[in-house]
A and B are shown apart, each in its own frame.
Chain A
Amino acid sequence: MATSNMKLLCSVLNKMRIDHITTRSINSPPRFRPPYWYLPKERVMSDEMLTQENKDFLEEVKQDKLNLQNTLESPLIKSETQETLQWTPGTRRTGLIARKIGNYPLWSKDGKKFQTTLLQVVDNHVIKYIPPEEFKPMKTSKVVWKEKRKLGCLLVGSETIDPSTVTKEYCGLFNTVGMLPKRHLCRFMVSPQASLPTGTPLFATHFRVGDYVDVRAKTMDRGFQGVMKRWGFKGMPASHGVTKTHRRPGNIGAGGEKARVWPGTKMPGHMGNRWRTLRGVKILRINTKHNILWMLGVAIPGETGAMCYLFDTVLPLKKLKTPPPFPTHPPADDLPLEYYDDSIHLFEEPTITFEES
């Protein structure tokens, strides 16, 4: 009896695990945890000392894979199910990854000049879809606004790169779809009915001319800046007895009970290099061959060559009113080369003249 008890005790002790101890208290914020599809991308490049033939061989394999990727057909053409999907004002479509390539003016039909920004949508492909049941993002302590809809997560990549420049794990993410790795990867939260099969190419025709979009991008990095540039303070006079305080902020607080610097006081510091969203930008013109969007205004954050993410706008007055291409525009060969907004004067049209009323 005693031996059996001893055996039982031993087995219980053997089975006991001490890795279930949680040390985190309820109040402390969760540590940063990258999303689970995130894999280390950068690798240390070194001279491999390959012979020329071997370098050529690697190039050939890469080229073959690229050709294979180009021959992939869009899954949207094969499946005829998208006919049944209907867009409603509540659904959320996927967005696009674009590159800012510069700005130039367009003129309206009444002779007004519009400055526009050109965004190029460079081979965007759907890499993965995670349905809402499986998608569990990191929980943060500060929940400002809770999404009532259940949204899935769609991964979109853009710009094919050389697979030898990134890690094997990162390549593996794309190999499952039969693609070469992409330089940029972005997560778009979409309604389940707006989900897309993996490998679907996305084009600039996903949006229409005249629609409004939100553009999210990183602003230009301006470094440590003073208060005049960073917050637009007025500074102080150049003369009239002012000494050494021409560009300084002046007073930063009151006395008495408030005798401290209040949180959020505008002070010198690092300016730029932050994610900012510009909402409600109108699309004036679309080129379907090169996938370029002409956006109204020059306030899209970032310098020329920066990446930005495009979404359907959330502004209530500028929201989509008519059904857009849903879930996205399928690839088609017979599209017109360019779409123009109604207000835009085409360069090949005759000179603007005004009629006497």
Chain B
Amino acid sequence: MSLVIRKSTVEILCAAKWIFRRDCRLLSTLPEKTEIVVDEKERIPGRKTRSYNPILENRHVYPEFLPDPNPNWRNSLREKMERADMLKRRSQIDIPEFYVGSILAVTISDPHAQGKTNRFVGICIERKGCGLRAEFTLRNVVDHQGIEVRYELYDPTIQSIQVLRLEKRLDDKLLYLRDALPEYCTFPLDMDPEILPEGTPVPINPVQVKLKPRPWLERWERQELKGVSNIEEHLKEKDRVRRELRKTPWEKYDLMKNYRKTIPAEEQSEIWNEVYNQLQQMRVSRKKMSRKRTVTTPKTQLA
């Protein structure tokens, strides 16, 4: 009983306090409503974020349409001509969406190959360059021999680029696959394409590779890699000390350094407004074509 009474007294006290506060408010000269408005006004600037333009998401899909951020090399007219040429090339060949870590099959026409074409399958370990100079590197292990081929994205000798598995990895560059065990970059040349259902986000493959023992091509331990599991095994105390000495934790706060590496959002939206419609049209027409093909191929098989 006593407990109950105590509880109830506490409640009563609370209620009384609340009523008292309300009364006080009523008594005060400021009306209640205006106070709420003031509260909202104070909150707005903090929570409100700039309206985000969805067209800017293209920067992940077509990074080569953004120019080099070095202002000494920039010229608006040259960039415009370059983009026009890129779109012209894209009207001839389907350059699909792919990322570092995706597995691609590239067919090029090669005057020295048998049948005058050459096909290579591999994992994309690097994408670099902008404009018509954009290039990507494929890596595969064929007959226990690591092979890397660098292709230019807008080279007119490329006959087709096919994405066999669309996925991302944990790092921006997979150059450490050169020092990893060969099973991590061995892919059969007759791999079948895996088709993702429409509208799914690109999956991120969380696989962590194992490195071979030293010597390595680069000092991987200093690069803060997420996709390597056994890097600590191969390190000596000396390497750990030097890694600590070489760390630059202030660099992520260097706002101007980050600014000079990127293209500002206003300039990006100008670029995407210029090219997006054409890119979208191409994509839609390609989809229609591929649907037709998928419909027609079983028929021929049946026949």
Check whether chain A touches chain B (CB < 8 angstroms).
Answer: yes
Binding site for B on A (CB under 8 A): 101-102, 104-105, 107, 110-111, 113, 118, 120, 287, 290, 292, 303-305, 345-356
B78 located at the interface, meaning its Cβ lies under 8 Å from any Cβ of chain A in the complex: yes
- Min CB gap A299→B, angstroms: 17
CB atoms of B78 and A118 under 8 A apart = yes
Chain B residues within an 8 Å CB radius of A355: 116
Which residues of chain B come closer than 8 Å to A304, judged between CB atoms? 72-75
Indicate if the CB atoms of A348 and B92 lie closer than 8 Å.
yes
Contact of A111 with B157 at beta-carbon distance under 8 Å, contacts A304-B72, A304-B73, A352-B109 already known: yes
Bitwise interface map of B from 260 to 299 toward A, beta carbon under 8 Å scored 1, else 0: 0000000000000000000000000000000000000000
Chain B 51-93, CB within 8 Å of chain A: the 1/0 string? 0000000000000000000001111011001100110110111
Residue ID in chain B nearest A303 by CB atoms? B72
B136 to chain A, nearest CB (A): 16
Alpha-carbon separation in the docked complex, A351 to B161 (Å): 12
Given A101-B75, A104-B133, A345-B156: A350 touches B81 (CB 8 Å cut-off): no
A352–B78 Cα distance when bound, in Å, is: 25
Residues of A within 8 A of B116 (CB): 353-356
In the complex, which residues of chain A have a beta carbon less than 8 angstroms from the beta carbon of B132? 104-105
> A347 to B131, alpha carbons, bound, how many Å?
14
A351 & B77 in contact (Cβ 8 Å cutoff) = no
> B: which residues have CB within 8 A of A?
72-75, 77-78, 81-82, 85-86, 88-89, 91-93, 109-111, 115-117, 131-133, 152, 154-159
Q: Give chain B residues whose Cβ lies under 8 Å from the Cβ of A118.
A: 78, 81
* Contact residues in B for A353 (Cβ distance below 8 Å): 109, 116-117, 159
B77 touching A292, Cβ below 8 Å: yes
- Contact assessment for A101 and B157 in the assembled complex, using a CB-CB cutoff below 8 Å: no
The secondary structure that dominates the B interface is helix
Most buried by A among B78, B92, B109: B78
Closest chain B residue to A290 by CB distance? B77
Instruction: Give 27 CB contacts A-B under 8 Å.
Output: A102-B73, A102-B78, A104-B131, A104-B133, A105-B132, A107-B156, A107-B157, A111-B155, A111-B157, A113-B152, A118-B78, A120-B77, A290-B77, A292-B81, A304-B73, A346-B88, A347-B88, A347-B154, A347-B156, A348-B89, A348-B92, A349-B92, A349-B156, A351-B157, A354-B109, A354-B111, A354-B116
Residue of B88, B92, B131, B156 contacting most chain A CB atoms (<10 Å): B156
Beyond contacts A107-B157, A354-B111: 11 other A-B pairs, Cβ-Cβ < 8 A, are: A101-B77, A101-B78, A102-B73, A104-B82, A104-B131, A118-B81, A290-B81, A348-B89, A351-B92, A352-B157, A353-B109
- Give the contacting residue for A348; candidates B91, B115, B155; CB below 8 A: B91
Name which residue of chain B comes closest to A348, CB basis.
B88
What residues of chain A lie closer than 8 Å to B86, measured between beta carbons?
Answer: 347
CA distance A356 to B82 in the complex (A): 33
Contacting pair A305 B75 (CB below 8 A) = yes
Measured CA separation A350–B93 after assembly (Å): 8
> How close is B67's CB to chain A, nearest CB, in angstroms?
9
Smallest beta-carbon distance B219→chain A, Å = 21
- Measured in the bound complex, the distance between the Cα atoms of B85 and A118 in whole Å is 14
Give which listed residue, B88, B93, B155, contacts A113 with CB less than 8 A: B155
* Contact call A102/B156, Cβ cutoff below 8 A: no
Residues from chain A with a CB closer than 8 A to the CB of B72 are 303-304
Q: Which of A107, A110, A351 has the most CB of B within 10 A?
A: A351
Known contacts A111-B109, A113-B152: does B75 contact A351 (CB below 8 Å)? Answer: no
Q: For the complex, give the distance between the alpha carbons of A355 and B91 in Å.
A: 23
Distance (Å) between the CB of B202 and the closest chain A CB? Answer: 27
Residues of chain A within 8 A of B117, CB atoms compared? 353
Given A348-B92, A353-B109, A354-B116, verify A107-B155 contact (CB < 8 Å).
yes
CB distance from A222 to the nearest CB of B (A): 14
Residues of B within 8 A of A290 (CB): 77, 81
Minimal Cβ-Cβ distance residue in A for B70: A304
Give the CA-CA distance A354 to B108 in the complex, in Å: 10
How distant is A21 from chain B, measured CB to nearest CB, in Å? 54
Measured between beta carbons, the chain B residues less than 8 angstroms from A303 are: 72
In the complex, what residues of B have CB within 8 A of residue A349's CB? 92, 156
Residues of B within 8 A of A345 (CB): 156
Contact partners of B81 in chain A: CB under 8 A: 118, 287, 290, 292
> Which residues of A sit under 8 angstroms from B73, Cβ to Cβ?
102, 304
Contact B75 A352 (CB under 8 A): no
**Chain A residue nearest to B85 in the complex (CB):** A347
Q: Which of A105, A110, A287 contacts B133 (CB 8 A)?
A: A105
Which 10 A-B pairs have CB atoms at the shortest separation, nearest pair first?
Answer: A347-B88, A102-B78, A111-B157, A101-B75, A348-B88, A354-B116, A354-B111, A101-B78, A347-B89, A347-B85
